[in-house]
Structures are given as structure tokens and as C-alpha cells.
Amino acid sequence: MFDRHRLEQILNADYGYYSGPEPLCEVDDRFQPATADFIRSTLHPELAMLDVGCGSGATILSHADRLGSAVGIDTDADHVRLARRALSASGHTNVRFEQLGFEQATGPDWDDRFDLVICERGPIGYSAESVRVAIRLLKPEGALLVEMIGDLHHQEVAAAWGTRRRQPVNALDTVTVAFDRCDLDIRVAANLITRRFYPDVYEWLKFQCSIWAWSGRPLPEPDDPGLQRFVDRSADNTGRVVTTHHVVVVGGVKRCSK
């Protein structure tokens, strides 16, 4: 039985990708290298990094004191504004953010300029074409690292609402094949799976609403039967909601031309 008033409060809030009510959540990250660890392992004080689809700029800013220079690009004007605001607050002088699609990042300021290009859940990796464009931005021996949503991500939500995509090929294979087609020397190809714990269904719903709103899916009504199906599948015997988070990380190095 749900508390209808709490459901309505949550479902009527204003959600954006980086805004909305903050959910309480714990992450079980035992055995868990994360994308940030793969990025950190490549950094050095002269390194030039590009973040494609940089969003709020948090990734660049969290690494900015361990690299030479970094550029974040994103097509979303609001995200670039957020990133620039965070940059001014951080005081870093080796970082800039631009509103730009990666497809348009060509010419002497972009081609062959970067030691590391990253893309976390952004536009690179779904196709060999997107990887080919990213490679153009890399210096010889430069590295491309992409993080993509994995097939098991939010599987409890997909099961409750019957929205699981029928994917003949899984995400890890999709990116690995795209890298291979483009002759990148693949050094990392990993499925990273974590569990997240929300104290109750209401905290989980705050998180899920931001994802639904961002993906353009209408939020459910308070009496949506999917909510009960979701609880039946994902709550443990203390009422905690447990969800699966799955990302795929693939990293490769641009070979020197012979």
C-alpha cells in the first residue's frame, strides 16, 4: 500500500537531468573499478583531454588538477552553462567548456589534438562512424574511453513496465566491434555492475523520475500498477529497494600510422 500523498509530491516535482529532489541512495561498490579509475590511470601533467557530451562538467573538474588541459563539449546549452558555473567556482584555469556537437569539432583546434578523449553515456560508441570521428580528434597513441549503458541497467524497472529492449547484440559487443572496425588497439573492455540501495520506494522514485523525464517518457500516475510490480520485484524483506546499475567501459589506443 502506497502513501498517495508522498507519491503525488514526488511525481509532481520538477525534474531535469541534473536537478530534482535528491534521492537517498547507497552504492554497493565492492570489487568495483569505476570509469573514473580508468580515466585516472591515464592522466599525467601534460595530458590534453576532451570530454564529449560533458554534461555538468563534473568528470573534467574532478580530474583537472592531475592533467595539463581539458575541454568539455556538449550540444545542450543548459548543461554547458552548468559546467561553466562549476568551472568558475572551482578556480581551474586549464579547462574550458564549449557548446558544440562532436561532429562539428573539426579543424586545427581539434584534429589530432588530444591524448585522451572520453565519452560517458554520450554520443560515441553506438556506431563505428561515431568512433571514427572521435579517433580524428586523437593524437597518435592517444586513447579513447567510452562508457555506455549496459543491457542489465535498471532491469527491475524494465521488468515492471515491460520496456526491456530486445537487443540481438549486447552493449559490450556493440562498442567492442565499433572500436575494432576502426582499428583501435583495445585495452579495456569491461562490464561494470553495481547494486544500489534506496531506503524505500519513494527515494527510488525520485531518482527514476529524473531518468524518465530526461528520456522524454511521461511520469506514471500514482495508481500505475507498474509501481507495485516494481516493488514486488525489487524490495528486500526490510522494504529497501535494490536496483542493478550496469555500464560498459571500452578503451582503446589510436595506432601510429606506418
Looking at this protein, which amino acid is placed at residue 89?
Answer: A
Choosing from 9, 75, 170, 194, the residue that interacts with ligand SAM (CB under 6 A) is 75
State the minimum distance, in angstroms, from the CB of residue 36 to ligand SAM: 10
For ligand SAM, which is the closer residue by CB, 7 or 122? 122
Choosing from 52, 134, 175, 182, the residue that interacts with ligand SAM (CB under 6 A) is 52
State the minimum distance, in angstroms, from the CB of residue 26 to ligand SAM: 20
Whether the Cβ atoms of residue 40 and residue 64 lie closer than 8 Å to each other: no
* Torsion angle, alpha carbons of 197, 200, 202, 207, to 10: 0
Q: Is the alpha carbon torsion for 121, 74, 123, 47 positive or negative?
A: negative
State the minimum distance, in angstroms, from the CB of residue 73 to ligand SAM: 5
State the minimum distance, in angstroms, from the CB of residue 80 to ligand SAM: 9
- Judged by CB under 6 A, the number of residues near ligand SAM is 17
Whether the Cβ atoms of residue 83 and residue 59 lie closer than 8 Å to each other: no
For ligand SAM, which is the closer residue by CB, 165 or 258? 165
Looking at this protein, which amino acid is placed at residue 26?
Answer: E
Choosing from 23, 53, 125, 251, the residue that interacts with ligand SAM (CB under 6 A) is 53
For ligand SAM, which is the closer residue by CB, 190 or 235? 190
Own/partner pairs for 212-218, CB < 8 Å, 24+ apart? 212/15, 213/15, 213/16, 213/20, 214/15, 214/16, 214/17
Question: Is residue 228 a contact point for ligand SAM (CB under 6 A)?
Answer: no
State the minimum distance, in angstroms, from the CB of residue 223 to ligand SAM: 30
Close Cβ partners of 177 (under 8 Å, ≥ 6 residues apart):
128, 169
Choosing from 63, 79, 196, 245, the residue that interacts with ligand SAM (CB under 6 A) is 79
Question: Cα(21)–Cα(84) distance, rounded to whole angstroms?
Answer: 23
* Torsion angle, alpha carbons of 217, 221, 225, 230, to 10: 60
Question: Is residue 73 a contact point for ligand SAM (CB under 6 A)?
Answer: yes
**Contacts to ligand SAM by CB under 6 A:** 52-56, 73-76, 79, 101-103, 120-123
